[in-house]
Chains A and B, each alone.
Chain A
Amino acid sequence: MKEKVSIVVMVDAVGALSDRTLHNGNISLVDDSTAGSRHQGTPDLITAVVPGQVVQWTPIHVDVQTPVEIQAIEFLPGAPVAPAADQADPDAPAVPAVPAYPVEPSVVPAPDATASNGHENHDLLVWEGVVPYYMVPGVPYRYRLSLKLHEGPNSVLHIDSPALLRV
């Protein structure tokens, strides 16, 4: 088992701000998991993880002079439904690209990104965490990935499609 899984978020910030969406090819998610991730290179990346692993998200901006940072990663809550027994197969979990369940994330306090000079600097934040043991295998835990492109009222865009999946 790898100790760490890296998820790289590549962003065409100029394209995303022009389209006002992270779709239309403006974002690409890739990970280095060896456990069988799916939809590499798309906004629908499902990263295969194992409890105890550390998952780390890193944004990369295509245009080096356009600031792109992660604003928030919020896991979307699910309905209280037990997973089907036949989904425990680690090799080929039947995972729809966009599962049908509520997509509004629970209220998570925004991480404090204030620098010592009083300005907000999301570069201070390291987006990484340990995969918990209570994660149910075979079920994609989707998350809302919010990206901050420079600043201003229209600077934050998000997608709800990527997920972590315990194999």
Chain B
Amino acid sequence: MAQQHGIIVLFDVENALRTRSLDGNTYWFDNMKFLGSTGEGTGDLVTIVPGTYFLDGSQATEQVLNWLPAALGSIPPTVPRNYLAERERAHDQRTLQQLAALGGEGDAGGAELTRLKQRVGKRPRKQASGRGLTATKLLDVTGSTTNSAAAYNYPAPVITDITGQAVSEKIIYPAQYGSPDMVYDGWYWAATVDTSRPGVYPYTVHVQLHELVEQNDEMVWQSVDLTCESSLKITSDPKRNAFTGGGLGVLPLPAVPPAG
């Protein structure tokens, strides 16, 4: 039975935002090296798609590709989707409790109050257009709130489209799907492959990164759209009978029956 390809695209978000390019800032990895993928862990991954066909010429296996984006130095994509909001709420509650305790002492120390103010963290706003990320607080990679613009955690990169030769020649049919697991996974890009036309087909992944910029004394997430390239190598081979090496034959049962 055909396998599903997982293709992980790891982005160095900070460098990509600085250079405004994904060249040299992406690391590709798939689970098909044993069938002939090359360039694992580099920016030059060629994903093998081993197609098979029956002797009547019809396609025997359908390959499915799944693209999974991830960011270097970021909260891993495997935490629940509401992780940021939960961490933020827990942090607010803890700060409120400490503030209440401080008030009970009557003479609240100024230094202590300043420390708590620091802890509340910064909340970047959405862009004025209303598009982009919701206004959650800045969190560092450990999930704690932070004031430091140097320590914050980049939001996960978002794949917005897949185009290129492999798509225009109808080798792959990419689309965005919702994961059945609503807690851990959101939307992801997947494609089925027409394996009847062997060859190497490049494709382009469109990615949206988010940059934190200061605007009118406010922190604002701005989206930055970039693209990166990879390619698929389609092979196609006929299915053959495993017992005979060719067509259908008699099962190789022992001539002498076993003692039942």
The segment from B16-24, B90-98, B137-145, B240-248 that touches chain A is B240-248
* A158 cross-chain contacts in B, Cβ below 8 A: none
Are A111 and B242 in contact, CB atoms less than 8 angstroms apart? yes
Contact with B along A87-130 (1 / 0, CB 8 A): 10000000110011100001010011101111101011111111
The segment from A24-32, A33-41, A57-65 that touches chain B is A57-65
Residue B258, interface by CB 8 Å: yes
A82 and chain B: residue at smallest CB distance: B257
Residue B111, interface by CB 8 Å: no
B contacts with A, residue count (CB < 8 A):
40
* A68 cross-chain contacts in B, Cβ below 8 A: 1
Once A117-B36, A125-B239, A126-B241 are accepted as A-B contacts, the answer to whether A95 and B1 lie under 8 Å apart by CB is no
The segment from B2-10, B75-83, B125-133, B158-166 that touches chain A is B2-10
A contacts with B, residue count (CB < 8 A):
63
Are A99 and B253 in contact, CB atoms less than 8 angstroms apart? no
Are B260 and A77 in contact, CB atoms less than 8 angstroms apart? no
Residue B249, interface by CB 8 Å: yes
Are A123 and B2 in contact, CB atoms less than 8 angstroms apart? yes
* A100 cross-chain contacts in B, Cβ below 8 A: 259
Once A61-B1, A65-B31, A121-B50 are accepted as A-B contacts, the answer to whether A141 and B239 lie under 8 Å apart by CB is no
- Interface centre among A77, A112, A131, by most chain B C-beta atoms within 10 angstroms, is A77
* A132 cross-chain contacts in B, Cβ below 8 A: 250-251, 253
Are A121 and B242 in contact, CB atoms less than 8 angstroms apart? no
Q: Taking the nearest CB of chain B, how far is it from the CB of A117, in angstroms?
A: 5
Are A151 and B254 in contact, CB atoms less than 8 angstroms apart? no
Are B258 and A130 in contact, CB atoms less than 8 angstroms apart? no
Count CB-based A-B contacts (< 8 Å): 150
* B250 cross-chain contacts in A, Cβ below 8 A: 129-132
Q: Taking the nearest CB of chain B, how far is it from the CB of A106, in angstroms?
A: 7
Q: Which of B223-256 contact A (CB under 8 A)?
A: 233, 235-245, 248-256
Residue B61, interface by CB 8 Å: yes
Residue A2, interface by CB 8 Å: no
Contact with B along A36-64 (1 / 0, CB 8 A): 00000000000000000011001111001
Q: Taking the nearest CB of chain A, how far is it from the CB of B136, in angstroms?
A: 31
- Interface centre among A69, A99, A123, A131, by most chain B C-beta atoms within 10 angstroms, is A123
Q: In the complex, what distance in Å separates the CA atom of A125 from the CA atom of B35?
A: 15
The 8 closest A-B pairs by CB, nearest first: A78-B258, A129-B251, A125-B242, A81-B259, A139-B260, A136-B257, A151-B34, A111-B242
